[in-house]
Amino acid sequence: MGQNAAALRFDSEQAAPASPVRNARPSWAGRLLLLPFHALAVFSASKAFNTNPVIGSRTLNRRGLHIGRRMLAARLGAMRRRSLAGLLSDEDRAAFERDGFIVKRDFLDPATFQALRDEIMALDVPARESVNGDTLTRLIALDGPTLDRLPVARAVLQGSAYRGLINYVGSFRRRPSLYVQSVFSQFAPGGAQDVQSFFHTDTFHPTVKSWFFLQDVDDDAAPFAYVPGSHRANRRKLAWERRVSCTARHAGDRLTAEGSFRISEAEIRRLGYPDARKLPVAANTLVVADTSGIHRRSTTDRSTVRVSIWAYSRSNPFLPWAGGDPLALPFIGRHGQRLYWAVSDLFKTPGKGQPVWRWVGRRTPLMPPARDR
């Protein structure tokens, strides 16, 4: 995997430093008033153990709260997927059920792919960037106003072939959030390891992320890696999740405490899953994965950049129906991503350093990132 022996050993502090300690705690009365809202969050996609005393309760999780949520969400996700089975081929459906991901090579015909790639690479628009360890990630929102300028990309990303795969894997018929994602590996050589390069699960319920690669991604260029079949929880994985859920609220690893469990390669082997599969791909390849399974971004020792159209979609996992998309509303559908960013920036806690994501001005997908960060 391009890691040395020390890097192969999972180190939660290296993967994700603990959040700064908060000196001010709500009063007992404030905690009591919030308790009904914390309890209601059990029936939502909320996953953070460290900010919800119900979801993070050691006592309740020892008695099966987390595992109960996980198993119910899995059953409902399977039911929704059955209702969406006609959106993709039998071959793709079988590949997903077996592996937890689908790889579509030569997704577009060559002429359409080249036209789409030309549109995306010519973008010069405001972008956001984040640095995690030695890696910088740039995101350009493909919202309504931007897609209006990209007729080929709009037709592809709103087309049934693309949407069908994402909707089935995500188990909801809804509009995904779309971005141009540029990942610059070894942006800060010698820094901490990128938190995305540790094996992890995104959340406890069926969910989806996808990457439509606009460039070749070689084996040593930080390709996506996935543990086949780990989207299905076997008995050992359920037992592991139960153990983690009992201590996650006070985990030294911030991301585990927030509900994105980190796991070592040795632990993966003990759970009985096969070795992770790295996915080096040629340009014009679409990868769609249920990221409740175990996955990571592979590591690399060299400076690389990979550009893709990245999408994700997430909804309340306890809904029994697959439809009803709030992003289908005209204003939210066209401007929802920027609205989310604006609200997120507005409510960031002051006095905790730079935000994880920040606006960096106009960027193209391949423009080298500034070094004066």
Fold held by 49-315+336-345: Jelly Rolls (2.60.120)
Helix, strand or coil, per DSSP, at residue 323:
coil
Q: What is the pLDDT of residue 23?
A: 43
Q: What is the pLDDT of residue 329?
A: 66
Structure tokens at 187: 């942006």
Whether the Cβ atoms of residue 55 and residue 46 lie closer than 8 Å to each other: yes
Of the candidates 277, 278, 45, 309, the residue with the CA atom closest to the CA atom of residue 165: 309
Q: How many CA atoms lie within 13 A of 234 on its CB side?
A: 12
Q: What is the pLDDT of residue 340?
A: 82
Q: What is the pLDDT of residue 327?
A: 62
Contacts (Cβ under 8 Å, ≥6 apart) of 241: 66, 67, 70, 204, 233, 261
How far is it, in rounded angstroms, from Cα 265 to Cα 267?
5
Q: How many CA atoms lie within 13 A of 150 on its CB side?
A: 28
List residues bridging with 310 in a β-sheet: 179, 211
From first to last of its 373 residues, the chain has per-residue pLDDT tens of 344 333 333 333 333 333 334 445 567 676 778 899 999 999 999 999 999 999 999 999 999 999 999 999 999 999 999 999 999 999 999 999 999 999 999 999 999 999 999 999 999 999 999 999 999 999 999 999 999 999 999 999 999 999 999 999 999 999 999 999 999 999 988 778 899 999 999 999 999 999 999 999 999 999 999 999 999 999 999 999 999 999 999 998 999 999 999 999 999 999 999 999 999 999 999 999 999 999 999 999 999 999 999 999 999 999 999 998 676 666 676 777 888 888 877 876 544 444 488 999 999 999 999 976 5
Q: DSSP character for 349?
A: P
Q: What is the pLDDT of residue 123?
A: 98
How far is it, in rounded angstroms, from Cα 58 to Cα 64?
10
What is the number of residues in the chain? 373
Structure tokens at 16: 């994700």
